[in-house]
Amino acid sequence: MAWADALPPTCGAALARIARVRPAAYARTRNHLDGAVTGLSPYLTHGLVTQRDVLAGVLQREPLPVQHKLVFELGWREFFRHVWARYAPVHWHSPGSVLDQSYEALDRMARDARVATASADIASTVDGVATPEPPLLTAPPPDLGLRVPDAATADRLRGREVWLVHPWALRAPPPDLADGAVVIGLYLREHHQAWPWPAARWHWVDAAMTAVASERWTVDAAHLAGALAGAARVRSVDDSHVTRQLQPVAQLDAAPIVFPSVERHCASFSQWWTRATRGLQRAEDLL
């Protein structure tokens, strides 16, 4: 079964997985091949649910100490998504650098014939059957039916409030939107040209986006600015994948976090964890 079939792109599926999390089994077996993993990674990565949703859902069933392995792993995700993006040297984010690569690109580098090893060859098979890598697409598949905003779009949105849904915050808009607000799903061309996706990921993300957005666009930053120029107000959720393109055109709400903000630079996760959990005993103290 493909991962996209095993992990339906819906908020309901994410909440059902949260309800099935067993913290003790997770802590004991998460590194086993058949361990009690949560299966929540794509839902958290693409923002169908937040880390606060996960922790709150688990704590509804049982209390946890803040040093529990499940809470620790939530900390790792927040460390990378917030602290790393905030404090990493500028050149680490430079286009074309080794770190500025998708997982798929890094995987291709690892499998390059010039550096391939027997273990890499084994990793590319399942039960002895070769598993070819899916092609990566820098643009959305045509069957998604995305719109490209045209000259009439700015007039249609003039004076209206707009909420932008991007692929890293695929959840319902906030309840304080004005009546008649327009909810638009957004794929920014600059990002996807640098970070292509396989078709399965495009379709998974778009199915989730369709559930919360009345229309979906594929657009570059310049044409996005033109399309939104007459809107009364434009809002979205901040995320390092899209901050640079959205900051000039939208008010970005802070992404929900679980752990207290750590202002000082931390050279390691251990330093960050110590500061983020100082004085806390129970996981519920994080909410």
pLDDT band at 128 (very low <50, low <70, confident <90, very high): low
Closest CA to 131 of 144, 122, 140: 122
Residue 264: what pLDDT? 82
Per-residue pLDDT, 130: 63
59 and 11 both lie in a single domain: yes
Domain residues for 103?
A: 95-133
Residues 231/153, Cβ–Cβ less than 8 Å? no
Percent of the chain scoring above 70 in pLDDT = 81
- Are 240 and 205 within one domain? yes
CB 171 within 8 A of CB 201: no
How far are the Cα atoms of 47, 92, 125, 169, 244 from residue 239, in angstroms, in the given order? 10, 17, 35, 8, 9
List, for residues 153-171, the tens digit of each pLDDT value: 999 999 999 999 999 999 9
User: Does position 99 have pLDDT exceeding 70, yes or no?
Assistant: no
For 32, phi and psi rounded to 5 degrees? -80, 155
Mean pLDDT over all residues of the chain? 87
DSSP codes, 152-167: HHHHHHTT-EEEEE-T
Q: Which value, to the nearest 10 degrees, does the dihedral of the CA atoms of residues 157, 160, 161, 166 take?
A: -10
Token duo for residue 121: 């060859």
Residue 117 in this model has a pLDDT that exceeds 70: no
Confidence at residue 57, expressed as pLDDT on a 0 to 100 scale: 97
> Please, which residues bridge with residue 125 across strands?
130
Same domain, 9 and 23: yes
Which CATH number goes with the domain that contains 164? Answer: 3.40.50
Tokens representing residue 200 in the block: 């399965």
pLDDT band at 78 (very low <50, low <70, confident <90, very high): confident
Q: Is 149 in the same domain as 49?
A: no
pLDDT tens column, 247-265: 999 999 998 899 998 888 8
193 & 216 share domain: yes
Do 100 and 192 share a domain, yes or no?
Answer: no
Confidence of residue 5 (pLDDT cuts 50, 70, 90): confident
For residues 165 and 203, membership in a common domain is answered with yes
Beta-ladder partners of 236: 252
pLDDT of residue 123: 45
Q: Are residues 267 and 184 in the same domain?
A: no
Would the pTM count as exceeding 0.95? no
CATH of the domain at 274: 1.25.40
Q: Which of 96 and 15 is assigned the larger pLDDT?
A: 15
Say whether both 146 and 233 belong to one domain.
yes
What does each C-alpha distance from 175 to 59, 163, 172 come to in angstroms? 25, 11, 9
The mean pLDDT value for 110-139 works out to 62
Q: Mean per-residue pLDDT for 179-206?
A: 95
Higher-confidence position of 280 and 134: 280
Residues 168 and 219 in one domain: yes
Would you say residue 115 has pLDDT above 50? Answer: no
Q: Between these two residues, 13 and 80, which has the higher pLDDT value?
A: 13
Element (H, E) at 130: strand 129-130
The reply to whether 245 and 281 lie within a common domain is: no
Residue 90: what pLDDT?
A: 57
Total number of domains in the chain: 3
| Residues 241 and 199 placed together within one structural domain of the fold | yes
